[in-house]
């Protein structure tokens, strides 16, 4: 039995948390590979450094080292501390190089923001060693996690990663060693770090589970499992016992931050079940996500919201009769790798939903479309996509009517609808100012009471 266990930022965020996590790992039977995020706050700190070239780099290095060394001083003493310090110092030299490298290098941000995981993994390996376990910290470079794609939005190459990990990580398991692997990034064909987007350690763990044919992936975080809504918006959100891969994938893609949007695919491909568990309450059962479909009577299971989006509406006479024109528009947007969260068409308009940050680039790209075809482009900023997920949602009669009546109760205007794209979810767009009201109303009417 091989388990991949991933621990997020808060789960490794302090000396106490690291000890708690080390106990969870030590108690797990069978072979295990651990994937970790940076200590909480560290990646935000590094992103801030990347965005502010005026910061004093010596101070940055001191602050970064201090945060980790303060925790290490609470954890280690004597020879263990000395040994830890030697490895820490050699990693800190690499950190200094990354932070003072040429900012025009396209991989500067990836090389810098992926630093946090290199230090949290080292600390966790030492905590385990101190407890008498055999454990090593292993970077994505050394583990053989390969990535492709543009800076800050890499994807793993599953096949090459599988052969890399078979050579580099599997032998450690055979020797009874627990590898602690850095989450969040892989290396590209030039050996440069490529990050998987914010929150990417969940995806790293799923990639590792796929690569080593694990029997189970456990995502350990700071809440009891996958909940019926973001507990920060709905404090009485309910923990979901079981979900299928499709439901979890839709919710993660459309804003449920508990899983990185791309976590499901690598495990679904190999039918590896996934559990979401609370590292602060390890005895709680968590949520099991697997390939089974189990119907429940509740109309809705969970609601998520993808915020900070914009609708770009392109008007052109009878565009519906000109599919080549629609294809050209989509091709143009695809060239710049902008994610389109939803598309809808009418006789003379095509509307796209993209992230607020991608609007400028998309408009520039569309302006390059050849002469006179586009009559007008309108942009509506600051909207959000609500994703409502339930078992066989669209097979149930009148579901959309019920959901939209709840939206009306929240006094929100529906700006765009994408029902039917997936049989488990109903997605629609509302103004950002109404997100909390809509999620709360849907939750109250169809989840809170239905249970």
* Binding-site ranges for Mg ion (CB under 5 A): 8, 199
> Which residue's CB is nearer to Mg ion, number 164 or number 255?
255
Cα 287 from chain centroid (whole Å) = 17
Dihedral sign, Cα of residue 161, residue 162, residue 163, residue 169: positive
> Which residue's CB is nearer to ligand ADP, number 144 or number 183?
183
* Segment 191 to 230, residues that bind ligand ASP, using CB under 6 A: 198-202
Token pair of 133, please? 């376990």
For residues 88 and 83, give the distance between their C-alpha atoms in angstroms, rounded to a whole number: 9
Q: Does 258 bind ligand ADP (CB under 6 A)?
A: yes
116 binding partner (options ligand ASP, ligand ADP, Mg ion, none; Cβ < 5 to 8 Å by kind): ligand ASP
Q: Does 221 bind ligand ADP (CB under 6 A)?
A: yes
Q: Does 195 bind ligand ADP (CB under 6 A)?
A: no
- 131-145 burial: b if 16+ Cβ within 10 Å, else e: eeeebbbbbbbbbbb
Q: Does 226 bind ligand ADP (CB under 6 A)?
A: yes
Minimum distance, C-beta of residue 221 to ligand ADP, in the bound complex (Å) = 3
Nearby residues of 159 by Cβ (< 8 Å), 6 or more positions away? none
* Segment 20 to 39, residues that bind ligand ASP, using CB under 6 A: 37-38
> Which residue's CB is nearer to ligand ASP, number 202 or number 230?
202
Query: Directed axis angle between helix 57-75 and helix 78-99, to 10°?
Result: 160
Minimum distance, C-beta of residue 196 to Mg ion, in the bound complex (Å) = 11
> Which residue's CB is nearer to ligand ADP, number 226 or number 446?
226
- The angle at the Cα of 88, spanning 84 to 90, to the nearest 5 degrees, equals 125
Q: Does 286 bind ligand ASP (CB under 6 A)?
A: no
x/- track of binding to ligand ASP for residues 158-197 (CB under 6 A):
-------------------------xx-------------
Residue 85: count of CB within 10 angstroms of its CB: 14
What is the phi/psi pair of residue 74, to 5°?
-80, -15
Please check whether residue 412 is in contact with residue 430, taking contact to mean a CB–CB distance below 8 angstroms. yes
232 binding partner (options ligand ASP, ligand ADP, Mg ion, none; Cβ < 5 to 8 Å by kind): ligand ADP
Nearest alpha-carbon partner for 4 in 262, 227, 178, 243: 178
Q: Does 302 bind ligand ADP (CB under 6 A)?
A: yes
Nearby residues of 275 by Cβ (< 8 Å), 6 or more positions away? 216, 217, 218, 219, 286, 287, 288, 289
Minimum distance, C-beta of residue 335 to ligand ASP, in the bound complex (Å) = 27
Minimum distance, C-beta of residue 250 to Mg ion, in the bound complex (Å) = 18
**The only residue of 256, 274, 338, 359 in contact with ligand ADP, by rule CB under 6 A:** 256
For residues 98 and 305, give the distance between their C-alpha atoms in angstroms, rounded to a whole number: 35
Q: Given the rule CB under 6 A, which residues bind ligand ASP? A: 8-9, 37-38, 43, 116, 183-184, 198-202
Which residues make up the interface to ligand ADP (CB under 6 A)? 8-11, 37, 199, 221-223, 226-227, 229-232, 256-258, 302
């Amino acid at each position: 039995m091989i388990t991949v266990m991933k621990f997020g930022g808060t789960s490794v965020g302090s000396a106490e948390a690291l000890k708690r996590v080390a106990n969870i790992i030590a108690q797990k039977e069978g072979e295990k590979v651990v994937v970790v995020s940076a200590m909480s706050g560290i990646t935000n700190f590094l992103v801030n450094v990347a965005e502010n070239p005026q910061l004093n780099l010596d101070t940055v290095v001191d602050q970064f080292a201090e945060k980790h060394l303060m925790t290490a001083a609470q954890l280690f003493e004597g020879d263990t501390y000395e040994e830890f310090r030697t490895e820490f110092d050699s990693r800190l030299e690499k950190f200094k190089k990354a932070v003072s490298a040429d900012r025009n290098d396209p991989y500067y941000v990836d090389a810098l923001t992926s630093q946090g995981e290199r230090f949290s993994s080292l600390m966790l390996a030492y905590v385990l060693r101190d407890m008498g376990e055999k454990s090593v910290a292993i970077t994505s470079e050394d583990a053989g996690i390969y990535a492709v794609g543009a800076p800050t939005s890499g994807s793993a190459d599953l096949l090459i990663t599988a052969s890399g990990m078979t050579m580099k990580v599997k032998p450690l398991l055979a020797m009874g060693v627990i590898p602690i692997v850095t989450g969040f990034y892989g290396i590209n064909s030039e050996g440069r770090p490529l990050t998987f987007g914010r929150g990417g350690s969940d995806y790293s763990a799923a990639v590792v589970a796929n690569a080593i044919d694990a029997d189970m992936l456990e995502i350990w975080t700071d809440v009891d499992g996958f909940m019926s809504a973001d507990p920060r918006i709905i404090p009485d959100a309910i923990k979901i016992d079981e979900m299928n891969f499709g439901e979890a994938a839709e919710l993660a893609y459309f804003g449920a931050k508990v899983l990185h949007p791309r976590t499901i695919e690598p495990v679904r491909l190999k039918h590896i079940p996934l559990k979401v568990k609370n590292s602060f309450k390890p005895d709680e059962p968590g949520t099991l996500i697997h390939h089974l479909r189990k119907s429940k009577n509740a109309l809705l299971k969970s609601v998520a919201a993808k915020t900070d989006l914009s609708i770009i509406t392109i008007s052109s006479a009878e565009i519906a009769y000109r599919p080549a024109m629609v294809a050209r528009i989509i091709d143009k947007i695809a060239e710049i790798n902008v994610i389109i969260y939803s598309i809808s068409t009418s006789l003379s308009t095509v509307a796209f939903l993209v992230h607020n940050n991608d609007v400028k680039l998309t408009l520039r790209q569309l302006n390059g479309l050849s002469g006179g075809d586009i009559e007008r482009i309108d942009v509506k900023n600051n909207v959000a996509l609500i994703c409502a997920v339930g078992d066989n949602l669209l097979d149930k009669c009148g579901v959309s009517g019920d959901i939209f009546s709840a939206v009306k109760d929240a006094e929100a205007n529906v700006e765009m609808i994408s029902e039917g794209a997936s049989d488990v979810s109903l997605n629609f767009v509302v103004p950002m100012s109404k997100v909390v009201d809509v999620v709360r109303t849907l939750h109250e009417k169809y989840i809170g009471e239905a249970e």
